[in-house]
Structure 1
Amino acid sequence: MQHLEAAVLGLIQGLTEFLPVSSSAHLVMAQQFLQIQEANVMYDLILHLGTMCALLLVFGKDIVRLILSLGPPRFYGTNLEQKKRDAKFVGLLVIAAIPTGIIGFLFDPIIDRLFTSLLVSGVGLVITGFLLISTKFITKTNPNMSIWQAILIGTVQGIAVIPGVSRSGSTISAGILSGVDQSQAARFSLILSIPVVFGASLFHYLRHIPKNVSIGFEAATGFFLSLLVGYLSLVVLLRIISRGKFYMFSYYCWPVGIFLILYSVFFL
């Protein structure tokens, strides 16, 4: 892989992993229109490590508090009510991860075949756009999350392996549409993605262990770009959500999705 290709893939990963515009669709476009080769499984894992580190930078304190909530009160602090809420949050994360893992495991071979399809990516982006715009009309929300809402978010995250369907866009939208507060839905979805995305990348790596793959400057470039750009895009996303403008990403997903559909129908 050339240095420029490594840099572009790192930028795409960092920019689109969290913004609800589908990283998979943009990787397909990079391969089709920029003639960039698909990243090998080792490099793909490194890119996901970069964006996972960005998540840890943003939610690090939250994650430490969640972990401490599972232990004795002396490790957590004096606010026992908050400890109970955090422990419940961890339980909901575990519950949500179950349907995600099952769906991802069952449909992984099919998704591999769909990944190079511009048509599928275009349709997925259009669907993502409709999910995003629908959140604009939800006014009544609750910061508390139920088990069924967690299962719904986890199920949607499993379905979001389809190219073009944004993982963050679909899961946050599912939370909002089911009545969860926007900020809480985003926090739950993004923290849930840490073990899920890393686990999926590691699973894919173990299934396709590369031989004689050397990683060096290209890997470092991709890692740091995905980390830096991922951190910035995550900060931007959270600010947009806090202002109630999450739906605005639909105005990007629709034209790009329609373009991909038309291009695949008339020019491929």
Structure 2
Amino acid sequence: MIAINFFHAVLLGIVQGITEFLPVSSSGHLVIVPALFGIPKPPLTFDVLLHLGTGVAVAAVFKDELLALVKGICKGEKAALRLAGWLVVGTIPAVLAGFLLRDQVEKAFGIPVFSGVFLLVTAFLLWLADRYDGAKDYRSLGWGGSLLVGVFQALALLPGISRSGATITAGRAWGLSRQEAAKFSFLLSIPVIFGAGIYEALPLLTGETPLELTGPYLAGTLVAAVSGFLVIKYFLGYLGRGRLRPFMIYCLLMGAAFLLGTFFLF
């Protein structure tokens, strides 16, 4: 078990909360930040727990939509059942990829150069997202659109591919506005984040994780939740009036800088 202290856990929690919902790849930053600051590389379990914290943030921001969805399902409303079905369809690709490619994904997290390369891929996706000119509501997405967004979400298992960036791009390709694509992206993140988070949290509950690591892990998760909540609020407001170009430039510069650093410093 890799040691990680309280300060490192909180720092990575802040990084996770900020970068999970901005389209800059939280997974890539959770590889890059430890490498740049000499922090021991945390295990995949810690990474997923940080995602669990941001899952709580999404649920808090979209609590009204989630409650309306649950009530609609209980009443048998067609619109609610349809949206629930779209979320299930959009979740399947990431679940399958997560189970089938878990070992390969964990190995990719151990190779820093991948994060740099895939950050450049994220930059391209964000450039592409701004090329589309849709203005539809996410409730018009349909089964095919939900599946497309789900496939792009599965790609974000790779370090450096932004989940929000990839799924927003897919939504834009299907005709959604930036803000509506982001809303569906965040809603779609809830099943995957909570499913993976609960699965990875079991070692904490069963005592398989050393007691001295439990405190830092939980602290990082809490910080990720709080910072994630604030960032979602900001980002949705920004997308109502702004473009993704600043995030594209950031990913381009970060990816290029990290690749140069990897080849010349590491």
TM-score by length of 1: 0.88
Deviation at 1:174, TM superposition (A): 1.0
Work out the percentage of aligned pairs sharing the same amino acid: 33
Q: Which residue of 2 aligns with 1:191?
A: 187
Post-superposition Cα deviations, 1:172-204, rounded to whole Å, max 9, x if no partner, equal 111102222322221111111111022123344
The alpha-carbon distance between structure 1 residues 108 and 33, as it changes in their structure 2 partners (threshold 3 A), is same
Deviation at 1:221, TM superposition (A): 2.7
Name the CA distance, whole Å, in 2 between partners of 1:5 and 1:178. Answer: 40
Q: Which residue of 2 aligns with 1:163?
A: 159
1:41–1:205 CA contact under 8 A, matched in 2: no
Post-superposition Cα deviations, 1:227-252, rounded to whole Å, max 9, x if no partner, equal 21111111111112111423331011
Q: Which residue of 1 aligns with 2:233?
A: 235
Deviation at 1:121, TM superposition (A): 0.5
Q: Which residue of 1 aligns with 2:72?
A: 69
The alpha-carbon distance between structure 1 residues 183 and 88, as it changes in their structure 2 partners (threshold 3 A), is farther
The alpha-carbon distance between structure 1 residues 212 and 234, as it changes in their structure 2 partners (threshold 3 A), is closer
CA RMSD of aligned residues (A): 2.2
Q: Does 1:10 align with 2:8?
A: no
Q: Which residue of 1 aligns with 2:246?
A: 248
Q: Does 1:106 align with 2:109?
A: no
Q: Which moved more, 1:179-188 or 1:212-221?
A: 212-221
Q: Which moved more, 1:40-49 or 1:30-39?
A: 40-49
1:240–1:246 CA contact under 8 A, matched in 2: no
What are the ranges of 5 or more consecutive residues in structure 1 without an aligned counterpart? 74-82
What are the ranges of 5 or more consecutive residues in structure 2 without an aligned counterpart? none
In the alignment, which of 207, 211, 220 is matched to residue 208 of structure 2?
211
Q: Which residue of 1 aligns with 2:87?
A: 93
Q: Which residue of 2 aligns with 1:122?
A: 116
Letter in 2 for 1:261: L
Name the CA distance, whole Å, in 2 between partners of 1:41 and 1:27. Answer: 10
Q: Which residue of 2 aligns with 1:53?
A: 56
The alpha-carbon distance between structure 1 residues 247 and 147, as it changes in their structure 2 partners (threshold 3 A), is farther
Post-superposition Cα deviations, 1:141-167, rounded to whole Å, max 9, x if no partner, equal 432112111111111111111110001
Q: Which residue of 2 aligns with 1:224?
A: 222
